[in-house]
Amino acid sequence: MFSLLRKGLIYKNISSDIVEHDLDIDADQWSYDEKDVYRGSIDSEYLEHKLNVYWLYDDNSKRIGLAEHEIDEPEVFKALWFRENPYAMLYQDDTWKSTETTLWSKLSNEAYQDCLENDFTTVSDLALSSGTLLMTPELLINKPDLYSCEKCGKKSLMAKNCCSQALVSILDFSQFSILFLDDNFVIYEKLTPQCDAFEQEQLEEQPELPDQKELMDEQTLQTHSQ
């Protein structure tokens, strides 16, 4: 989840389990976004960002989100919530929706067979070669390098999938048509055509992503792999 108070800060520990420092404490009940929750103790990991971060729990001690407070102005805070939709959770934006379709429905029979013959391990590389980036939440959080060879034309996000003459460069999202996927290759899209102010601020930390409507209009195949 991208922090709402600190650009560039990403909360990666999103398990529903109780964090260790909240074990065996008497958590007080608080209300955030009109939800009654139990708030744990301050997570010291985020003090360097000058934030007091508290994990939030439901009645069954299941972790369901967090609250981040400015250390110097504790009345300034934001609550972030766990969601099933990975992009809605990452951006804290419920206008990201599943299309209920998968990448495989976008492929021709020939393209599907090519992927099948390689146990679907090369689908991301095939997409890159066709000018499409298969975006996943993991790519948004931990952006990899791009390996490309001018001689053979192959592109990959993994060095082992490219030839020894491949050049390494920073992955620039704007160079590709983008398809947003989850780990099961289900396709997602943002229903509103423009990024809101928060999302735009997050994207300034990374190469700019094209407008979502523009992306979906451009894609016939096409493929992709925070």
For residue 27, what pLDDT is reported? 93
| 3-class state of residue 19 by DSSP | coil
pLDDT above 80 for 66: yes
Tens-digit pLDDT profile for residues 140-160: 998 889 998 877 778 888 888
pLDDT above 90 for 30: yes
Reported confidence tier of residue 222, pLDDT bands at 50, 70, 90: very low
Tens-digit pLDDT profile for residues 71-96: 999 999 999 999 999 999 999 999 99
Give bridge partners of residue 31 from the DSSP assignment.
36
Q: Look at the alpha carbons of 175, 176, 178, 184 in this order and tell me if their dihedral is positive or negative.
A: negative
For residue 99, what pLDDT is reported? 95
More confident residue, 46 or 202: 46
For residue 221, what pLDDT is reported? 34
- Using CA atoms, how far residue 54 sits from 3, 79, 92, 128, in Å, is 13, 9, 17, 40
Q: Which residues contact 80 (CB under 8 A, 6 or more apart)?
A: 1, 3, 4, 11, 65, 66, 67, 68, 92
Enclosing H/E stretch for 60? none
For residue 88, what pLDDT is reported? 96
For residue 191, what pLDDT is reported? 86
Amino acid found at 165: Q
For residue 226, what pLDDT is reported? 35
pLDDT above 60 for 124: yes
Reported confidence tier of residue 167, pLDDT bands at 50, 70, 90: confident
More confident residue, 36 or 208: 36
